[in-house]
Amino acid sequence: MYGGEFDGNAAFAGGGFMPSQATTQAPDFSSAFKNRDVRTLLPLTLKQLNSASTNGESNFSIDGVDINTVSIVGRICRMENRITQVDFVVDDGTGCADCVRWCHERQETEEMEAVKLGMYVRLYGHLKSFQGKRSVNVFSIRPVTDFNEIVHHFTECMYVHMYNTMPRGGSIPQATATPRPQMPYSTNPTPAKPYQTGPSNQFPNQFNDQMHGVRQTVLNYLNQPMHLASEAGVHCDVIARDLRIPPLQVKDALEQLSNDGCVYSTMDETCFKSTANA
């Protein structure tokens, strides 16, 4: 699907990160995700982590999103060095979490040596459950040196919670051809988030906000993986043709998007590419 020609069927058929049409229409996102190998990276407060629901040994979910990798910022309040691993407890002020960092390689040992009791750390790991006891299997950890990172982390937790719990989707007429990536927040680019929020975007070509709708449609089009992957960008006439929008409107929309920093022109002033993932 990364070929030259735009193939609508391929783009919407569910390859890559795009939801299948069935997913788009299904209101129950959590079950739709279960069958897919979703690799989420969720920033969580430890209160969220400890209240995540579980349906088995190591299947956790929160806000309807399966938990895979978590990102935590907190203070190390207990630490115990063992032969093959370091056991420690992180406290972020909202709760505590037991963590394990296995140290087999030299690099892992060195990374762990930089971390001391009482330090603020940022860590990434997998949430595990063993005999009903939850712990985080850490695979990356580093001391926090700029303490604004703490504020940033919690702000991100709130944002992601809001992102995953706000009502999304709804009935999108197929003809408008605006794929709405309904993936959970993850390391994959979630293009141009500000444009995806708010109920007005659900009906891009209606109401008196028509120019905004065209902008959104064009941006969604350029945010498709195949267009993000293209070096040269997409010619404005091709966009107009594929989206069945008059070329002048497309040009206006591209100019506004360009001014907003959402897209940029590539080889000349007629080919455009989204700034997402650029």
Partner 1 sequence: METSSPAAFVNGALLRRYIGQKVRAVVQVIRSDIGSVIGKSTDEQQIVIKGSPNQPLTIYLEVIGIAETENTIRAEVWTNFGDSFDAQNYNELCKLANGEFRHLFI
| Residues contributing to the site for partner 1 (CB under 8 A) | 45-48, 50, 75, 93-98, 118, 120, 133-135, 146-148, 151, 154-155, 157-158, 161
Adjacency order of strands within the sheet including 60-62: 53-54, 60-62, 65-67
CA–CA separation, 42 vs 62, rounded Å? 10
197/210 with CB nearer partner 1: 197
Provide the minimum distance between the beta carbon of 56 and partner 1 in the complex, in angstroms, as a whole number: 18
Provide the minimum distance between the beta carbon of 49 and partner 1 in the complex, in angstroms, as a whole number: 8
Provide the minimum distance between the beta carbon of 122 and partner 1 in the complex, in angstroms, as a whole number: 15
| Nearest by Cα to 101 from 89, 117, 112 | 112
120/221 with CB nearer partner 1: 120
Provide the minimum distance between the beta carbon of 142 and partner 1 in the complex, in angstroms, as a whole number: 16
68/94 with CB nearer partner 1: 94
- Give Cα separations from 89 to 1, 59, 179, 203 (angstroms): 46, 21, 42, 47
10/150 with CB nearer partner 1: 150
Compute the C-alpha angle 193/271/204, nearest 5°: 40
93/247 with CB nearer partner 1: 93
Provide the minimum distance between the beta carbon of 198 and partner 1 in the complex, in angstroms, as a whole number: 17
SS3 67: strand
CA–CA separation, 273 vs 268, rounded Å? 11
CA–CA separation, 53 vs 134, rounded Å? 11
